Amino acid sequence: MHRAAGITATAPWRIRSVTVLTGYRFSVTCNDGTTGIVDMSRLIFSEKAGIFTALKDEHVFNQVRIELGALIWPNGADFDPVWLHEEIGKQDSWIVPG
């Protein structure tokens, strides 16, 4: 896990681990133990994808990493950990709207 020096991620909505799955999906675990599968395919292939369009390239999508408890990609795309935590807390899997 990557962290800035001197900063400790302690909020429950911080992402502790991420594992890339097939089909533009990943599995996440948050600091409070909340886990789930997130499907980003609808967002990535949406006409309103914006910065997430670059994630159509699976090589780029697979480079997701955790920085300060949030998911980020090399092209600058990042994902709101609060929203992710809320949605996977409701059910074990979540399809991000496009």
Task: Indicate the number of domains in the chain.
Answer: 1
- pLDDT (0 to 100) of residue 7: 56
**Model confidence pLDDT, tens digit, residues 3-16:** 455 555 556 678 99
Per the structure, the complete domain to which residue 29 belongs is given by 15-95
Number of neighbours of residue 7 by Cβ within 10 angstroms = 9
- The model's pTM: 0.84
The closest alpha carbon to 58, from 77, 69, 44, 38, belongs to 44
Residue 1 located in a structural domain: no
The answer to whether residue 2 sits within a structural domain is: no
Closest CA to 35 of 22, 19, 52, 55: 19
**1: confidence class by pLDDT, cuts 50, 70, 90:** very low
Give pLDDT tens digits for 50-91. Answer: 999 999 999 999 999 999 899 999 999 999 899 999 999 999
Q: What are phi and psi of 19, to 5 degrees?
A: -130, 125
Q: Residue 61's domain is classified under what CATH number?
A: 3.30.2020
